[in-house]
Amino acid sequence: MKKTIKKLTAVGLTLTSVMGLVACGSSDNGSSSNDNTDKKEITKPDKFTVMVDNTVVTETNGAQNFYDYLKSLTGLDITWVRPDHSGYYDAVANAFNSDDTMPDVVLLSSDYYALYASNGFLWNMTDAWNNSETKNSGRLIDTADNVLSALMVNGEDGTQSMYGFSPYRGNGCNTYVKKSWLEKAGIDVNKVQNEQLDFNTYYGYLKTMAASAGHYVISAPGFVSTEAPYTNYLPEFFQKASYTFYKDSTGKYVDGFSEKAMEDALQRLATAVADGVIDKESVNNSTANARDKFYSTDASSESGVFTYWAGTWAYTLKTNLENKGLNGDLIALKPIKELGAYVERIAPAWCITTAAKNPEGIFKYFIDTMLDGGDIQTAWEYGAKGTHWDTKAETVTLAKDEEGKKTKTYEEGTFHMLPSPEKPNTLMQKNHIDPILALAKFKNGTDPGDATMSDTAKTNGAFFAQNSKVATPLPMTTELAENITDINEVRKQVVADVALGKSSVADAMKHYKDTVGSKCDIVLKSLNK
């Protein structure tokens, strides 16, 4: 059965081609529910293929060792397909051109997950999950339902079901402020830390820090990010404005970008750039560029406020600052009053495709074991024993040892991380599942690598969980898939033009409606059927 799908384009990317995807999308194995999962014997799958991006430990960082270790634990014969990260979704689309190249399992971000589910390419695992060991183990964390409910999306028949599984929370961004910048600007740290500020107070502090530094305070990775929720790198300025389509309080889908809340948000951005609070080069910044400015030892290009990923990244930011001789003390701001809560993204989902000959077996023996609360979960969190971590008695030395500070001796039975095969100057931190974000606890109640996780990462991870809400998924329709690329390109340009003072809010919004207003109407009509 041939289907034509326009490949989704995240903001800032250039994938615009239309591809004919050939697959048995409407087969009984795909769009129909597997009602008999608990009534028939589920056999261990023979050899199957898994397509993943670089969120699973990469080839240059010991991937083969992980594959071999996982096979020793599960007995599964898996062929791993690892496209280049930057072209991952091009490779996925190409693979879905034919049953002969379609993988049995694929890892998909939320937008692509909804797209492929709605077009009948993914196996409905609702019943498999309901009957799974993990769901019925009693080990799921308190917020697991929030994450898993976001995976209920429309299938080919329009019925909401679960077509993928996320073993971890999606995480999100919170705003970090350098304590040193507050102190240099004469701002009382106690009035910022653990306080919920309103926007005017927050912006006043930003202007004070800008005056103290003599230049911008914030250098963001773009005025908008490249994936939902899009506004997560400048949340205080966008506040509750929605960048895309969403269901309002009346139960009707509307275009958030065309609303007054977005107009106000754009004006706040324009004012902040004009005031020198936000770096105008943010429009071209990659995440690496923005991080480099946060780490900069050149006072003329250093930024002092950075909205970035929570948890493990809190420790990474602190460590990288200290490695450059800078003060690593960072304060995670509570979401300002007008924002209310940070947004946790919908986690990428592990999906079984309609090409799989034994989807029930793949779910039970591969996907469900990712959170087994034992050795397999440990492998997904930390990698291969003997390559990425170990418990044997040994002395671990990083490649660059400075006066013994990077050498440590461990006793037999003590879990410890090993130097990264790719970057031997640093210890491995994690594999695919961030331990701080895992959806299930271990059987004995304690993660074996708990002692290796920094207090900074754990504290910030808990902080973000308490101050965030999971994004609401947008159902995928054919009309949305066909038009979202063009719509988002115009949205991105509107934000840039207003922020940089090239256009007024009114003129930019008129351009938006004149250019893609009809496309938005088509999308809304499909969403509100």
Give the 3-state secondary structure of residue 107. Answer: strand
Within 119-219, residue ranges assigned H as helices are 126-130, 144-149, 179-184, 199-213
State how many domains the chain has: 3
Q: Are residues 73 and 210 in the same domain?
A: no
Q: Are residues 327 and 350 in the same domain?
A: no
**Domain for residue 243, yes or no?**
yes
Instruction: Please give the helix or strand (H or E) that residue 293 lies within, else none.
Output: helix 287-295
Instruction: Look at residue 158 in the predicted model and tell me its pLDDT.
Output: 85
Instruction: Look at residue 403 in the predicted model and tell me its pLDDT.
Output: 55
Q: Are residues 202 and 335 in the same domain?
A: yes
**Domain for residue 373, yes or no?**
yes
**Domain for residue 10, yes or no?**
no
Q: Are residues 323 and 236 in the same domain?
A: yes
Query: Cα–Cα distance between 61 and 131 in angstroms, integer?
Result: 35
Most distant CA pair in the chain, distance: 70
DSSP codes of every residue in 388-402 = TEE-SSEEEE-SS-S
Instruction: Look at residue 91 in the predicted model and tell me its pLDDT.
Output: 95
Q: Which of 381, 405, 432 is the last residue of a domain?
A: 381
Tell me which DSSP letter residue 253 carries: E
Which position has the token pair 């602190």? 318
Q: Are residues 307 and 370 in the same domain?
A: no
Instruction: Look at residue 405 in the predicted model and tell me its pLDDT.
Output: 65
Nearest in space to 48 (alpha carbons), one of 148, 117, 126, 123: 123
- In the chain, the N- to C-terminal Cα span, in Å, equals 25
Residue-range definition of the domain harbouring residue 403: 389-423
- Enter the tokens of residue 474: 């947008």
Pairing label, strands 173-178, 330-332? antiparallel
What's the distance, CA 458 to chain centroid?
A: 18
pLDDT tens digits along 129-141: 999 999 999 999 9
Q: Are residues 100 and 248 in the same domain?
A: no
Q: Are residues 359 and 323 in the same domain?
A: no
**Domain for residue 455, yes or no?**
no
Q: Are residues 361 and 307 in the same domain?
A: no
pLDDT in tens, the chain (529 residues): 334 444 444 333 322 222 233 223 333 444 444 444 445 789 999 999 999 999 999 999 999 999 999 999 999 999 999 998 889 999 999 999 888 899 999 999 988 899 899 989 999 999 999 999 999 999 999 989 989 999 999 999 889 999 999 999 999 999 999 999 999 999 999 999 999 999 999 999 999 999 999 999 999 999 999 888 899 999 999 999 999 999 999 999 999 999 999 999 999 999 999 999 999 999 999 999 999 999 999 999 999 999 999 999 999 999 999 999 999 999 999 999 999 999 999 999 999 999 999 999 999 999 999 999 999 999 999 999 999 999 999 999 998 765 556 899 999 999 999 999 999 988 999 999 999 999 999 999 999 999 999 999 999 999 999 999 999 888 888 899 899 999 999 999 999 999 999 999 999 999 999 999 999 999 999 999 8
Amino acid at 443: K
Instruction: Please give the helix or strand (H or E) that residue 106 lies within, else none.
Output: strand 105-108
Q: Are residues 340 and 419 in the same domain?
A: no
Contact 1, 25 (CB under 8 A): yes
**Residues near 252 by Cβ (< 8 Å), separated by ≥ 6?**
528
Instruction: Look at residue 76 in the predicted model and tell me its pLDDT.
Output: 98
- Enter the tokens of residue 311: 């948890």
What's the distance, CA 322 to chain centroid?
A: 26
**Domain for residue 286, yes or no?**
yes
Contact 70, 76 (CB under 8 A): yes
Contacts by residues 115-118 (CB-CB < 8 Å, ≥ 24 positions apart): 115/5, 115/8, 115/476, 115/481, 116/163, 116/351, 117/153, 117/154, 117/155, 117/156, 117/161, 117/163, 117/164, 117/351, 117/476, 118/153, 118/154, 118/155, 118/156, 118/475, 118/476, 118/477, 118/478, 118/481
- Kindly calculate the radius of gyration of the chain based on its CA atoms and give it in whole angstroms: 24
Structure pTM?
0.86
Q: What is the CATH number of the domain that holds 374?
A: 3.40.190.10
Which position has the token pair 């910048």? 181
Query: Cα–Cα distance between 17 and 100 in angstroms, integer?
Result: 22
Query: Cα–Cα distance between 66 and 422 in angstroms, integer?
Result: 14
Phi, psi values for residue 333, rounded to 5°:
-75, 140
Buried b (16+ CB within 10 A) or exposed e, 90-102: ebbbebbeeeeeb
